[in-house]
Structure 1
Amino acid sequence: MPTIRQELLIHAPIEVCFDLARSIDIHAESTSHTKEKAIAGRTHGLIECGETVTWEAYHFGIKQQLTAQITEMAKPHYFVDEMVRGAFKRFHHTHEFVTVEQGTLMVDTFDYTSPFGGLGKLVDHLFLAKYMTQFLEKRNYYVKKIAEETANSSRSAR
């Protein structure tokens, strides 16, 4: 059961970071390299607790679909999404947001189990854990970029 944990300081208010992280549209933009798009459930806007989204994307050259549900949410401090259907045996993805002096600390924890038992563990070790780490990092840096641009444009508009 690999767990990927990333922390990222974002120079923007917690509410901005929280909403960008749960935005279906921002997620699709940040994962455009996999042609990821929302095809069912919540397909645009801000996902809420109890809602699902089904994503379609290309990973490792294979078109895949994955449905996740928001199972917990405490605005603007955290939300959790969990896989309902998809390529993993299971996953639990916690998005936490903490106000700090410089802005917001975004803490992303992705805990998952690959299918296929021992073979899945080997796949994790050989390449999947690295792939997922880079995938999440790219998405998180995109959220950071948009959040900081939003915060800067709000400050300059004053």
Structure 2
Amino acid sequence: MAPIQSESQFVTFALGEEIFAVPVEVVREILDHEEVFKIPNGPDYLMGLRDVRGQGVPTIDLRLKLGLPRTVPTPNTRVLVLDIPFEDRSLTLGMVADRVFEVTPFRRDQIEHAPEIGIAWNSDYIAGVVRRAEGFVVIIDLTRLLSSNDTALLSSRRAA
């Protein structure tokens, strides 16, 4: 039997002053920000489609999805291209971050459960938090962040 991993790698990034992380295995690549092809009548957080190596990838403003103010692009703004596994398929998605920091390991025993109160966003999207000297890192559960309505919409946009 394979041993349970005691450590996992995460990509850390910022939205404003807050630090977030996603598992490194879902990050295909990190790109500079560029304008996207706007999609009419999409939800406000759906910025549009971006060409990634010949594939039209729906790109979201994670700030809006989390209830924060809209992203204002700077020279540090990046797009994380993610391949998010779902039960029956994988969704490729671009996610805008104000700044990407590093790939860093977190030990399983460092990851605490999400607090239920005192945070500005819906804690359903939080897989856990890691306490560091400079504050907390919030680990995002991407499958919970994107509801079934979102995944259906984003999948159909990509197919269009």
* Length-normalised TM-score, structure 1: 0.31
Greater helix proportion: 1
Greater strand proportion: 2
Greater RCO between the two (CA within 8 Å, min separation 6)? 1
